[in-house]
């Protein structure tokens, strides 16, 4: 019986001598396109709705408000979107299991409050405070995951409780002053308010594009060696060129001096992309790798798709469940730090209000399902940009006392729309 597979291999090779060698050229491109169209019609929409939405609302705002695509505003958009995107990346893991973390916002607020208080009232160095804040996030996530997986309380209830409780803890920590201002000299502030030198920005872009191309080509070559069907090189080339063009446009626009009060001093220039972009790219690459290329990532999808089947297949379902809460709260802590960097302070209501709603909205708009099993890290990025564009554009459109009110209404409506879309697509998939 040990030579069982070998026999099968032999049979198989006799059956189909050279018939499966993938064809090249237009035929391959046609087959690839047909396969793609079939998948889209089958309900695997991927990033299409988010991309279309992003383009449409960007065009609308750019037409209504001419300054919308200015370098100054693009930078504002990116640094506004960053905390939302980071939190949404973590939330995607929880959502993939069909769970929810309502406390991600206040967890981030609490962790940034711990960091700020350590730095300013206890004289801890910035990096130590940062690490302690992140560890606090991880511990919180473990606790909530344990309550969900081992005690069996629904995640909705656990995180609703911690949502409220952490808000209280932050309030107690920050105290009556209402906020803790971070020192200007702190490297933490640089993340959102300081810029990558131009030469480094272009170098990083080049590295990123070359790395992406290398991975894609290597995958395709590996599949060809294995005799499997693969994406035509034309498609890979198109993707690489599109990525390079987008990246170059962004890097170029960020290279324009945005300092409005221009004067003779060279040192006063504001140009280059914000450092947080580099952080976003790294976080994206890491989590995308984890979800798509490791056994752990595969098991996260499996548990989200069918927990019973995963259990029978020998997957440690409880451990997976705890781990996603750890990742989510850890990323919420990072998001809290980024938000603190953006505001240069930590408020007593940090992470409360609509922080979580925006992040969940980002994930869902990006294409992550609230029912579990479907979602990718890119969803957080695209959805986060959509949310940031809406907030940014609305604040330009509606000025005055009620602007925040309109912003809430529109964001809520978009989230509901995305969730409805998700539910309808899911029904289409099931049939």
Rule CB under 8 A: is residue 1 a binding residue for other proteins? Answer: yes
CA distance 85 to 424: 25
- Tell which one of 65, 190, 223, 239 touches other proteins (CB under 8 A): 223
For residues 130 and 114, the answer to whether their CB atoms sit within 8 Å is no
| The one segment of 47-55, 58-66, 163-171, 222-230 that binds other proteins by CB under 8 A | 222-230
Rule CB under 8 A: is residue 98 a binding residue for other proteins? Answer: no
- Tell which one of 25, 27, 33, 35 touches other proteins (CB under 8 A): 35
CA distance 387 to 352: 17
Rule CB under 8 A: is residue 298 a binding residue for other proteins? Answer: yes
| The one segment of 156-164, 180-188, 307-315, 353-361 that binds other proteins by CB under 8 A | 307-315
Q: Cβ closer to other proteins: 152 or 314?
A: 314
Rule CB under 8 A: is residue 25 a binding residue for other proteins? Answer: no
Rule CB under 8 A: is residue 293 a binding residue for other proteins? Answer: yes
* Contact map string, positions 224 to 253, toward other proteins, x by CB under 8 A: -xxxxx------------------------
Q: Cβ closer to other proteins: 229 or 349?
A: 229
- Taking alpha carbons only, the member of 417, 410, 370, 365 closest to residue 390 is 410
Beta bridge partners of 274: 195
Give me the least distance between CB of 372 and other proteins, in Å please.
8
Rule CB under 8 A: is residue 294 a binding residue for other proteins? Answer: yes
- Tell which one of 182, 302, 365, 388 touches other proteins (CB under 8 A): 302
Rule CB under 8 A: is residue 211 a binding residue for other proteins? Answer: no
- Tell which one of 22, 29, 44, 72 touches other proteins (CB under 8 A): 44
Give me the least distance between CB of 309 and other proteins, in Å please.
4
Give me the least distance between CB of 3 and other proteins, in Å please.
10
Q: Cβ closer to other proteins: 75 or 422?
A: 422
Give me the least distance between CB of 375 and other proteins, in Å please.
10
Rule CB under 8 A: is residue 376 a binding residue for other proteins? Answer: no
- Taking alpha carbons only, the member of 86, 82, 70 closest to residue 393 is 70
Rule CB under 8 A: is residue 23 a binding residue for other proteins? Answer: no
For 55, 155, 377, the CA distances from 94, given in Å and listed in that order, are 28, 10, 12
CA distance 172 to 407: 29
Q: Cβ closer to other proteins: 78 or 317?
A: 317
CA distance 324 to 145: 8
Give me the least distance between CB of 98 and other proteins, in Å please.
11
Contacts of 155 (CB under 8 A, 6+ apart): 94, 99, 100, 101, 144, 148, 325
| The one segment of 247-255, 294-302, 389-397, 406-414 that binds other proteins by CB under 8 A | 294-302
- Tell which one of 286, 313, 423, 424 touches other proteins (CB under 8 A): 313
Q: Cβ closer to other proteins: 2 or 399?
A: 2
Q: Cβ closer to other proteins: 148 or 230?
A: 230
Give me the least distance between CB of 322 and other proteins, in Å please.
18
- Tell which one of 267, 312, 400, 401 touches other proteins (CB under 8 A): 312
Contact footprint for other proteins (CB under 8 A): 1-2, 4-5, 8-9, 11-12, 15, 35, 42, 44, 222-223, 225-229, 293-295, 298-299, 301-302, 304-306, 308-310, 312-315, 373-374, 429-430
């Amino acid at each position: 019986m040990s030579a069982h597979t070998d026999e099968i291999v032999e049979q198989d090779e006799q059956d189909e001598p050279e018939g499966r060698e993938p064809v090249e050229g237009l035929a391959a491109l046609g087959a690839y396109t047909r396969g793609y169209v079939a998948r889209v019609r089958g309900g695997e929409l991927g990033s299409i709705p988010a991309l279309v939405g992003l383009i449409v609302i960007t065009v609308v705002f750019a037409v209504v408000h001419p300054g919308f695509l200015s370098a100054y505003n693009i930078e504002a958009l990116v640094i506004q979107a960053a905390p939302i995107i980071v939190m949404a990346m973590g939330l995607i893991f929880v959502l993939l299991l069909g769970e929810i973390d309502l406390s991600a916002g206040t967890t981030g607020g609490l962790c940034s409050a711990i960091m700020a208080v350590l730095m300013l009232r206890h004289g801890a160095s910035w990096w130590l405070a940062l690490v302690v804040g992140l560890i606090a996030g991880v511990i919180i996530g473990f606790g909530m995951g344990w309550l969900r997986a081992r005690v069996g309380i629904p995640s909705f209830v656990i995180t609703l409780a911690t949502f409220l409780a952490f808000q209280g803890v932050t309030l107690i920590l920050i105290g009556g002053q209402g906020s803790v201002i971070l020192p200007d000299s702190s490297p933490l502030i640089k993340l959102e308010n300081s810029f990558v030198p131009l030469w480094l920005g272009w170098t990083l872009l080049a590295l990123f594009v070359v790395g992406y191309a290398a991975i894609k080509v290597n995958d395709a070559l590996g599949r060809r060696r294995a005799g499997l069907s693969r994406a035509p090189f034309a498609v890979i080339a198109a993707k690489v060129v599109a990525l390079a063009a987008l990246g170059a446009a962004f890097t170029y626009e960020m290279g324009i001096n945005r300092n409005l009060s221009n004067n003779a001093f060279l040192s006063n220039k504001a140009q280059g992309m914000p450092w947080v972009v580099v952080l976003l790219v790294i976080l994206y690459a890491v989590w995308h790798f984890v979800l798509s290329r490791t056994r752990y990532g595969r098991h996260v999808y499996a548990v989200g798709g069918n927990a019973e089947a995963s259990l029978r297949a020998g997957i440690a379902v409880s451990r997976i469940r705890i781990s996603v809460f750890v990742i989510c709260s850890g990323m919420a802590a990072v998001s809290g730090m980024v938000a603190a960097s953006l505001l240069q302070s930590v408020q007593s209501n940090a992470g409360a209000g609509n922080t979580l709603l925006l992040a969940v909205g980002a994930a869902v708009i990006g294409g992550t399902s609230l029912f579990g099993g479907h979602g990718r890290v890119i969803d957080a990025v695209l959805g986060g940009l959509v949310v940031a564009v809406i907030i940014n554009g609305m604040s330009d459109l509606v000025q005055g006392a009620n602007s925040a009110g309109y912003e809430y209404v529109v964001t809520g409506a978009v989230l509901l729309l995305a969730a409805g879309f998700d539910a309808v697509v899911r029904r289409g998939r099931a049939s």
